[in-house]
Structure 1
Amino acid sequence: MNLADCYRVLGLRSGASFAEIKASYRRLARQYHPDVNAGDQRAKEKFIELTAAYQQLLTAVQPQNQGAETAERSPQAAQSAASRPVKTRVVRRPPKVEMNPRLSEIEQRLKEQSYDQLQELLKHHRYPRAIALVEGLAQRIAHDPEVRQWQAIAYQRWGRHLIQLNQLDKARVYLKKALRTDPHNRSLWAEVERDFRTLEERY
């Protein structure tokens, strides 16, 4: 999607503010969330589209209060600051996600932001929303092995949770989807085998 499409998906005019984008996404995400529309494929696809559009706009639109601190300084303070030499300090942090040279800069940033959001959703056991997020990301960034790994992990975690809820047939479906999504991941296979043993004990 280009930016105009992203605004359209969120029901906004082009050039809408960061706050308007955020508010519109929250409203529409509540309306089309998979938890609210269980079994509704069209709602799921709409939620995925909304999330992809929102993530892309976040990379292009800055919060309006960015730089507000500078604007509130007195003219004297601003002039004094401008006359001082600028010292740039580079802080190197280990990357949270792998750099994929096949991705554009916008796609790489989308991937990084989605990773943060995915970790929060998994942390709070919001598995259907985590799956919707990562499936949308996999559609937007195809053939990225790390994204495929995240997708498989989301399926596996949801499958394990379904076992705890005693929804055993549904759990089996998602555990199998995890293996199909990332079949060469040995760590994932070990976790899924453990889940299958637990599942068999429940039958």
Structure 2
Amino acid sequence: MNSIKLSHSLSILQLPESASLADVKIAYRTLARRWHPDLNSNPNAAEKFIALDNAYKNAIELLKAIEASTVDRNRQRPKVDREPAPPPKAAKTPPPPLNEHDEQIKTQMLAYIATLTRRGIYRVAIAEIEILQATIGENLEVNRVQAELYKNYGIHLVDCNSFDDARIYFKKALAIDPCVELWGKVDRQYDRIQLKMLELS
């Protein structure tokens, strides 16, 4: 069943069944830019874009599951640290600047994402910024906003006592923007989690 679902998703992304995770990301970025409703006046653009987005998510999920299945199942998984790891010292090479068209898309989408975030509509904001990242490629400003959004959603999850999910989003934030300031904020949230777990026990 999963192989049929993967084959269908890859077909929508115009990829062969031998496609890798990297192939899926490149294809999605190209097709998302072509069919994004803000960039394409075709009346079917929105429907096509949604189908591409669903196919991308399904393909990524299934390909990652296939990769995970090749790992020795008997190997014990390490326990997740309660504290986040310190940021790496090596700095990433900055990505090339955006062209004028992509810069306009970025500005419009970030304004919309900021509105969603202020209203506490985190899941939609996260979906939108992930689409933006896939559409325009690597961008330092988008990275910072995405990391901050993950961090804020993590704080919201801590407030809701969803500690495991909160840890996931804190780690996502640090993976994107492992700066000392963000690491300090996340570290304080880990302290909050520990205190709240003690209160609830």
TM-score band w.r.t. shorter chain = 0.5 to 0.7
TM-score of the two chains, using structure 1 as the length reference: 0.53
Instruction: Write out aligned runs for 1:121-132 (5 A).
Output: 121-132=116-127
Deviation of 1:45 after TM superposition, in Å, equals 4.1
Match of 2:79 in 1: none
Deviation of 1:197 after TM superposition, in Å, equals 1.0
TM-score of the two chains, using structure 2 as the length reference: 0.54
The 1:43/1:160 distance shift into structure 2, 3 A limit, reads farther
Deviation of 1:2 after TM superposition, in Å, equals 8.2
The 1:6/1:42 distance shift into structure 2, 3 A limit, reads closer
The 1:101/1:174 distance shift into structure 2, 3 A limit, reads closer
Instruction: Write out aligned runs for 1:6-155 (5 A).
Output: 6=36, 14=42, 42=54, 45=57, 102-155=97-150
1:189 pairs with 2:183: yes
Q: Verify the 8 A CA contact 1:162 1:171 in the aligned structure 2.
A: yes
Q: What is the CA–CA distance in structure 2 between the aligned matches of 1:2 and 1:172, rounded to whole Å? A: 30
Moved over 6 A (4+): none
The 1:139/1:164 distance shift into structure 2, 3 A limit, reads same
Q: Verify the 8 A CA contact 2:154 2:166 in the aligned structure 1.
A: yes
Q: What is the CA–CA distance in structure 1 between the aligned matches of 2:130 and 2:102, rounded to whole Å? A: 15
Deviation of 1:188 after TM superposition, in Å, equals 1.4
Aligned length: 127
5+ residue gaps, structure 1: 33-40, 47-99
Q: What is the CA–CA distance in structure 1 between the aligned matches of 2:113 and 2:138, rounded to whole Å? A: 19
Query: CA deviation digits over 1:97-135, x for unaligned, max 9?
Result: xxx972111100011001111110110011111111111
Q: Which has the larger radius of gyration?
A: 1
Query: CA deviation digits over 1:24-73, x for unaligned, max 9?
Result: 95xx7xxx7xxxxxxxx938849xxxxxxxxxxxxxxxxxxxxxxxxxxx
Match of 1:64 in 2: none
Match of 1:177 in 2: 172
The 1:167/1:140 distance shift into structure 2, 3 A limit, reads same
Q: What is the CA–CA distance in structure 2 between the aligned matches of 1:165 and 1:181, rounded to whole Å? A: 24
5+ residue gaps, structure 2: 1-30, 59-94
Is the partner of 1:193 in helix, strand or coil?
Answer: helix
Q: What is the CA–CA distance in structure 1 between the aligned matches of 2:32 and 2:134, rounded to whole Å? A: 15
Instruction: Report the identity percentage.
Output: 30
